Amino acid sequence: MLLDYFLRLLVAGILGGVIGWDREYRAKEAGLRTHFLVALGSALLMIVSQYGFNEVLNKPGYGLDPSRVAAQVVSGIGFIGAGTILIQKQFVRGLTTAAGLWATSGIGLAVGGGMYWLGVFAMVLTLVGLEFLTIIFKNVGEHSSLLAFTTTEKENLKRVTDELLAKHYRIASYDVQHEQVGHVEIYHATMVIKTKHYLDESELFLFMQGLPDLTLERLS
C-alpha cells in the first residue's frame, strides 16, 4: 500500500510539472516548481484525508468525514492563486495562471485519490486550454499589454502615443507622473494598450529604444 502512495505522489508531481513547464516556457508568474508542489501537496493531502485517520475511525464512538481535508485544498489554493494576480490600472495579469494552479490542485487530488487516468486526461485538457485555445482564439476580442517608461523629454510622450495610434492600438488608460529633480523634469508614463491582435513587442521595443532620453521600464 505504501508503494501505491508513493506512486500517486510521483504521478501527481509529474503531471503538475508538465503544466508548470508550459507556464515556465511562457514566462508566467508561476512555473514548474510551483505547479509541481501544488499537485504534489494536493495529492498528499488527499491521501491523508482518505487514509490518515483509519486508526481513529476504528475506535468506537468516532465518526469523521474523510473528504474535509481534501475540501480545504479547493478553498486554500485560492490564496496561492490570488498571489499570482496583479492589478494595475485597468490591466489584470495572472488570472489564467491562477486558474491553472486551481486546475493543477484538482489534478493532484484526483491522482491522490487513485484516479490516475482522470488526472492524466485533466492534465491534457488543461494544456489544451492553456495553449491550443489561445492559438485558435488569438484574434477574438482584445488583448491587453502594459507599457511603462520614463523620459526627460516631454515630446516623447506624444511620439509614443502617435506611434500607438498609427499602429491601430487603443489606449485604454494613460497616466503620467511628473517630478522635478534639480533642473531636470522627469515624466513617468504608464499605459494600458489594447489591440485585436497580439502586440508585436519587438517592433514597439525597437521604436522606443530609438527615442532619445527614454527608458523603457516595462512592456508586457
Give pLDDT, residue 171.
85
Those residues with Cβ within 8 angstroms of residue 181's Cβ, 6 or more apart along the chain or in another chain: none
Give pLDDT, residue 115.
92
Give pLDDT, residue 118.
93
Give pLDDT, residue 6.
93
Query: Superfamily for 143-219?
Result: Ribosomal protein S6/Translation elongation factor EF1B (3.30.70.60)
Reported pTM: 0.64
- CA neighbor of 155 nearest in space, from 198, 200, 213, 197: 213
Query: Where are the domains positioned within the chain?
Result: 2-136, 143-219
Three cell numbers, residue 107: 489534478
- The CA distance from 21 to 13, in Å, is 12
Those residues with Cβ within 8 angstroms of residue 139's Cβ, 6 or more apart along the chain or in another chain: 196, 197
- The CA distance from 107 to 121, in Å, is 9
pLDDT in single tens digits along all 220 residues of the chain? 789 999 999 999 999 999 988 888 776 767 888 889 999 999 998 888 888 766 666 667 666 676 777 778 877 887 777 776 665 555 566 777 888 888 999 999 999 989 999 999 999 999 888 877 666 666 555 677 788 899 998 899 999 999 888 888 888 888 898 888 888 889 999 888 887 665 556 778 888 888 988 998 877 7
Q: Are 188 and 209 in contact (CB under 8 A)?
A: no
- The CA distance from 111 to 46, in Å, is 9
